[in-house]
Every structure is written in structure tokens, then in C-alpha cells.
Homo-oligomer: A and B are copies of this chain.
Amino acid sequence: MLVVMEQNATQEQIDAVTSLIRERGYTPRPIPGGERVSIGILNNEGAVDPNPFLALPGVKQAIPVTRPYKQVSREFRKESSVIRVGDVSIGPGSLTMMAGPCAIESKEQALTIAGHVRAAGAHIFRGGAYKPRTSPYSFQGLGKEGLVILAEVRRQTGMPVVTEVMETETFDLVEEYADIIQIGTRNMQNFSLLRRAGRAKKPILLKRGMAATIDEWLMAAEYIFSEGNDQVILCERGVRTFVNHSRNTLDLSAVPVVRKESHLPIIIDPSHAAGLRDQVIPLARAAVAVGAHGLMVEVHHEPERALSDGAQSLYPEQFDRLQRQISAFYEILCRNGTMGHSM
């Protein structure tokens, strides 16, 4: 960390900073500048908390140099992580396609859609049993009945299933039925849920919070690691900005940054980013091109009857077309060596 003093900081204030640095077991290294003094902190293991320094009079800024995350960082583990679920891999070497409806509405609906996406080449079936809804009066998902349907889809199609968990109370149940457990964007900093996920035996799909920086997102993954579960897949799904022509703004630069900073695989959910079907296919292509390890896409055979998010669901034939396009893209990336274990 670098502690930057105000231009008019007194020697007494500078000394208070160096004392506090020593008190915490680090070594201060003053850097006298033309206009102001800065003080580097040496011999720290891991990140230093800037707050106590910012609390001192005469301090202008405290600039962290060390990244706050540890176990999820590429500096900690050089080799990229590959998550395996049955025969399916997520990480370098694969482009993993997760597809299905926003919400499980009935066994018939789930099996119909699963049949379509399976035939088109999807690897994993997605579908919500517990739905986080803005309104308490909206359809909240089928709950346990939805989980049972997901298990039936797996039995009939052989596809692993991913579904969202919303709370610690139902975590055991979700963990029993799901192959991959999703933590949604609204829960990215639900720390007790993250800790529980850290004790799960199944991989966790961790969506980025709507206003989360990459540091905060990786720290959420660090919570899961800190409890012992290192099977984490990151999922970018758009962030909230002033832009009003799509529901969220898909931040594709997150892919090269995460792949550089962390060893974890990262996939993209273009459906929630776009919010509108017309944008989903172009954004899905872009997500593959930017170097994501997979996609999560919403598909519904009757979107106008969907109980949730019909406007952003692809028709099955659109999903077919998307699959063909991105397979060709992915081949090029592989030939170019872009999808290797490092950036």
C-alpha cells in the first residue's frame, strides 16, 4: 500500500503514519515528492486495510497495491481450474453451453425444452425452481417440485442440471438435486449463503452482482474458497449503468481481466444482460469471441406463455442457429490458441 499525505501535512502527521505502519508489523518507506510525501508499506503479507490510515489526519489517499483476494488469484494457482460435472468440463479446452427456461413451470415444459436444447448441442440444462422476483406477488417458482422435475430431466436426457439456491434453509435440498448450484446476482454478497456454498460438495456458479467490481466478485468467490470449496464458476450477466436500451450492460472486458487475475473459469449469461431476445444472439457470439468458457442462455418454446422473463428467451430454432454460429467461432479460437490455460 502507498499512503499519500496532504501537501500541507505536518511532520507530526507523517510520523503518526509511520508509527501506525510499524505498530501493525510492517515497514514504512517514505518517498519524498516535489509536492507531497508518500509512504510505502513493505513486508506485508497479503492486502493491508487502508481504513486505519485514511482515518489519520493529513492522509489524502491510501492506495492498495496488493490484490485483496488470495486463493482465487492466478498468482496463488497458476494453472487454470477446470470444473467437471459428469462428462462435462467447464474451463479451458471446452465451450460449455447451459440452456433452458428461466423457470421450471411443469414437467412437460421442462422436458420439451430440454429435448430441444439437448438436440441442438447444449451440455447442461438450466431452470429455476426457486426464483428471486422483484415483486412478492409474482410467480416464485415451483420450489421442491421444480427440483424433482430437474432430476427427471437429468434422468431422461443425461444432462447435468444447474439451478439457483436463494437461501441457506433450502440449500441442502438444492444441493441434493442439482449438479451445479447457482448463486444469483442479488445474492453475490449474501455472505452466509456464500459460506454455506463453501461447505457444499457441488460446484458453485457465482453470478456477478449488478454493481459489483471484479475485486468484489472475486472476494465473493474467496468466501466460498475460504470454507473449503474450490469448485467455482464465475458468470458475468451485465451490470447496471445509465444505458437504457438493454436491461443491463454486458461487461465483456470482465472476461480477459478475470482470466488474467484468476484461475477460475468464466461464462456469460447474455439473456439477463440483454433482457430482449433480439440482442441475445449477437451478444452470445461476442461472449464466445471475447474468450468466455461457456454460455448460459434462456430458451422457451412458448415465451409469451412463460411465467418469467419470456421477453429474453430464445425460441428453440434460434438456439439451434446460435449453436451453429458459436461452434464455428470456437473452432477458430482453438486453432489460434486463444483458449489456452493463460490469457
Contacts and interface: CB of A to CB of B under 8 A. Distances in A.
A283 B7 CA distance: 25
6 A-B pairs with the lowest CB-CB distances in the bound complex, closest first: A54-B311, A55-B310, A211-B211, A289-B289, A55-B303, A167-B192
Nearest to A43: B34
Contacts of A244: 213, 244
Contact of A241 (B32, B249, B273): B249
A283 B243 contact: no
B42 A306 contact: no
A8 B74 CA distance: 11
Contact of A249 (B75, B216, B251, B289): B251
Nearest to A328: B332
Contact of A33 (B65, B132, B306): B65
Given A52-B310, A243-B251, A250-B252, 18 more contacts: A2-B2, A2-B40, A20-B304, A35-B66, A49-B138, A50-B311, A55-B303, A55-B306, A56-B304, A134-B215, A169-B192, A186-B191, A242-B242, A246-B253, A250-B253, A253-B282, A288-B289, A289-B289
Interface in A255-281: 255-257, 260, 273-274, 276-279
A170 to B, nearest CB: 8
Given A239-B242, A242-B240, A132 B189 contact: yes
Interface in A302-343: 303-306, 308-311, 313, 321, 324-325, 328-329, 332-333, 336, 338, 343
Interface string A24-66: 0000010111111010101111110111111110000101011
A156 interface: no
A166 interface: yes
A33 B66 CA distance: 9
Interface in A205-223: 210-211, 213-216, 219, 222-223
A172 to B, nearest CB: 13
Question: Copies per complex?
Answer: 4
Q: Which range holds the interface residue count of chain A?
A: 35 or more
A4 interface: yes
Given A166-B191, A286-B290, A36 B65 contact: yes
A192 B213 contact: no
A332 B325 contact: yes
Contacts of A333: 285, 325
A148 interface: no
B187 A190 contact: yes
A52 B251 CA distance: 26
A245 interface: yes
B40 A40 contact: yes
A101 to B, nearest CB: 12
A7 B261 CA distance: 11
A29 B260 CA distance: 27
A92 to B, nearest CB: 14
A31 B36 contact: no
